[in-house]
A and B are shown apart, each in its own frame.
Chain A
Amino acid sequence: MELDKDNANPTILNPSDLPSRRRELAVKKREDGGTGLFDELIPAYTYLNDPFDGPVSSSDSDDDSVEDIDEQEIYDLISSISDPEHPLSLGSLAVVNLPDIHIQPPTNPLSSISTVVVEITPTITHCSLATVIGLGVRVRLEQALPPRFRVDVRVKKGTHSTDDQVNKQLGDKERVAAALENGTLMGVIRRMLATCE
């Protein structure tokens, strides 16, 4: 048993209560309110499809519609990161929460740079690993978002005894870069990111 855990008994959220995208989609897709149970009655390869009438398009009809990167997508990217202390995801520990993710659009019309602000909530106020978690979130987003996004990860105000210090560390580009050079630290972060889907 590892006795050095800061919080050995954290509260866990049920996966059904975590925000997810599928909910909205399922509802939007079917205006009749059904679950699509009967759609599968007719197999995909029915004889009524005619392969000769020009190749049946392999893609959905709404090919041209654009699905923008939104807060939920950011949440999906980082909520599956695992906590360095527990084999649990940051989402189920409520370290990252959908309402604490904000995308700020470009400040002037000429620039294409958007900023993603993520506020994390440590499970307890003296969590010594808050910086590591913040760093993990930052690394994940920098790997997964296109270059037009700037990433700003901070600890939510009032949820950590030394949140100013932690935020300073996370906001300091050079310190972040130096931390990423540290092999042990990167090892920890790689393990955290290993559960990402």
Chain B
Amino acid sequence: MLNYETHEYDVLVIGAGGAGLRAAIEAAATRLSVGLVCKSLLGKAHTVMAEGGIAAALANVDQRDDWKVHFTDTMRGGQYVNNWRMAELHAKEAPACVRELEAWGALFDRTQDGRILQRNFGGHKYPRLAHVGDRTGLEMIRTLQDHGIHQGIEVHMECTVVTLLQDDGRVVGAFGYDRERGRFRVFRAKAVILATGGVGRAYKITSNSWEYTGDGHSLAYHAGADLMDMEFVQFHPTGMVWPPSVRGILVTEGVRGEGGVLRNREGRRFMFDDIPELYRNQTSDNEEEGWRYTQGDPDARRPPELLTRDHVARCIVREIKEGRGSPHDGVFLDIAWIKERLPTAEDHIRRKLPSMYHQFKQLAGIDITKEAMEVGPTTHYVMGGIRVDADTQMSNVPGLFAAGECAAGLHGANRLGGNSLSDLLVFGKRAGRYAAEFAAEHGAGTIDEAQIESTATWALRYFESNGSAPTEAENPYRVQADLQDMMQDLVGIVRTESDLRKGVEALRDLAGRAQRVTVPGNREYNAGWHTALDLRHLLTVSEAIALAALERKESRGAHFREDYPDKDENEARENIIVRKGPDGEMQVTREALPATRSDLQTVIEEMQ
């Protein structure tokens, strides 16, 4: 008989970053019992890495801003394949969510008249990002954490979910293990919210930590939920490139918001060379105007460095490919130059970008107030994810909700910087509210013991003491690294049909190798075992990304197909859906994008 601990809640939240914490707080406010499970310690989730700010049309700095402009910016940034309803809710509800954080103790940087200061960011028409220097994510997660621990939420730290438990289709709980002892745990719940973040560990160069193996995407997929838009993976244009061991670590867009510029090895500001039609009216065509924009001149247009991330990343790749890159295969990001304009530039940089200053000083030996940084694209975020109802965040599987990065819809083909933190708050809150409602209306389901037994057997077979043939044994870290190399090469920023097909083929081979993984040692805090168990999720999301990327035969936002380099309006009328077929195979289908409500369509057209 299998030994496991059982916990019972009305609502179970999986993941304790911004979305998970916000969801748990909201669900707990209804006085239902709430459990929160997270793979790391509380407060360490990837939200802590967010630097730039939270996008919300507070209009504290520029009074022309309102939800309509934010909505339009989000749709334009997402190349109009966003879920319009989510974009509407997000733009309307983000300001209240930011003010709520302040009421819970967050201390944002201030305007002269004492209100929340907002800064410029790529693709946002007006200064819109509430921020704290360049450590906004830390402020946000700490505020939610410190508020959340007093709301009666039961937290299970360092605990990983392996599968969702189902009763006749409905999700009624989750099964996992605690990392410390490797003991199995069953969580029974009337409703489950996935808030597990992204999939960055599927790639070699990434800003994401070990946790981001697509757990939520994969758990939902295997439970029968639809995944949508998985081809849209955001490569942030500015990650560190040197030294090799720090490759991929994020360099905030805030550097460009504060006046930082991109140059190639010839010293040319290459972003002026290619300004997309969609943004021509909003973008400055000379350096002088661009500088004035970053300094808050309301009549100036944004510099081309602040175009959307997909475009900036592609321009950087082009410069490197054509031989104009920096010594270590990147380009130069220069903030030190502003000393030509500001007498107090050094202090200003250290005050506005303290953690960037620190990061480069300590990890690369570079003083960013004096020298240019070297940067290149890094896997940062997945726009695609679990398909959810815009209002309630429930997936097509009853009782299963999703919020934050693991949910799809809001960001379309490309996410604007700053829209992630606001996404976590707005839709975390909604998921919490509607999951609680669902829990109140439904009784507890029945747990399937057979499902628990078979999952446990699967999880334990990785131990070498369980007798796999040692000649064929695979190292889990090796398999993971090979998968990351392959995805980087074949399913990365620039894609072609033949590469993608090779990628799908390679995934089959990797799946075979993953079967042969064995790990030494016992169940106690065994990182090798944890890595082996996460491989299943990585393989699932990698396959979903590759198949969706094959299916979308156009280039849009973050998805760039060299063999279909242009946008195709027919392709843009459909979402690519990935779901598990009856025989366990991955199916790819298309579904028509819901038509934008007419009043919102008018808003978009008026702001062209």
- Chains A and B come from one and the same complex: no
